[in-house]
Amino acid sequence: MGNSESGKSTLVKQFRLLQSSEAFAIERESWKSIIYLNIIRSILKVIDAVAPNFNLKTPAPADPDSKSFALLRLKLMPLRSVEKSIVESLSSPSQMAQTRGYNSYSTMLPRSNGRGGERGSPRPEMDTEYDDVFVHPESPWQRFLQKCMRTTNAIRTSTSLGTEHDGAELQTDDPGKTLRACAADMKLLWSNAVVHQHLKQAEFFVEDMSGFFLNDIERITSAGYIPTDDDILRSRVKSIAPTETVLPNLEKGLEWRIYDVGGARRQRAKWAPFFDDMDLLIVVVPVSAFNQYLAEDHSVNRLKDSFEMWEELCKTTALHHIPVLLFLNKTDLLEKKLRTGVKLSDYMVNYGDRPNEPERVIRCKL
């Protein structure tokens, strides 16, 4: 467990890969749509974040930057249709019917421009629960993925696959064609120095977000692309319901069951039923999130919320018989962030004037 974007799902994928190097072999193709959507979302977030800095209505001849950006934004408009198509494949049948009629999820609600406020004050989160990549448990994609996982486990345990068929077939139009057509323009946008300048001024660090693939546009949009293990680990997808992963332990004749529960505050009420008969609770804390705030409450610091969650679990009498493991995640991003000059004390004033170094930060917060 952990708050949203703490890295819970990535940890589960790591467990699967550590148990078997072929864990992703059967389902590799299914992750393409998720990775494509991650790229599209990143591009659209960059566009929406920097657009207010350009004169898009009537770019003057003396303002070539605005003219160039306006042209790129226009040429990348097809990505919004692809976004809608992929999102529909991740939705339940009832959600598909509800979402048809909208141009795309990305235009249903205004996006944050990522601009910061006063020192130590919260700024709108780069990802909100409205523009995240949600996967419904009954979606075609999720059902297909679960079937792939069952097949993989059956092969590993040498059991008969029989005639099992639950109707989970992944049939979607190939979004790769549109992405290949837009690849050059996506690379132009991401390599634009003026765009990066505006992103930096807005404190919009898209490269620190989960599901970041903008440095791999050429490779991922190439014909015949197949996701690597690292691509699958880095991909960002958010479930709206607790998910179960079964890992057969062939040596001991057992199987591990891992439950990945939703991290948003409104989803935490669903955790209780999963605490009965658990052997271990793992709390995943994203230590790099000290300058980020919860999508559902922009007044609550994500790192502070993680430690409060940890303390609450430790104080819960009903859980005293269950070991609770604190997993400090994203230490690499923490180090990168501190090295660029972002100060912990600007967001957590009680840190004072202590050295702005990763080891000291982690030791102090614990």
Please tell me whether 329 is known to bind a ligand. yes
239 is an annotated ligand-binding site residue: yes
Helix 176-191 / helix 193-201 crossing angle, nearest 10 deg: 80
Judge whether 331 is annotated as a binding position: yes
To the question of whether residue 153 is assigned a binding role by annotation, the answer is: no
Q: Measured between alpha carbons, how far is 344 from 89 in angstroms, rounded to an integer? A: 40
Question: What's the rounded Cα separation, in Å, for the pair 124 and 122?
Answer: 7
**Going by C-beta distance under 8 Å and a sequence separation of 6 or more, which residues neighbour residue 228?**
none
Q: With H, G, I as helix, E, B as strand and everything else as coil, classify residue 26.
A: coil
What DSSP element (H or E) covers 302? helix 302-315
β strands within the chain, DSSP E: 134-135, 238-239, 243-249, 254-260, 281-286, 293-294, 297-301, 324-329
Cα 39-40-43 angle, rounded to 5 deg = 85
Coil, strand or helix at 257: strand
Q: Would the annotation count 94 as a binding residue?
A: no
- Backbone angles phi and psi of 134, in degrees to 5: -90, 140
Task: Determine the Cα–Cα distance for residues 204 and 208; give it in Å rounded to an integer.
Answer: 9
Q: Is the Cβ–Cβ distance between 359 and 338 less than 8 Å?
A: no
Annotated binding-site members:
239, 329-332
Annotated binding-site members for GTP:
329-332
Annotated binding-site members for Mg(2+):
239
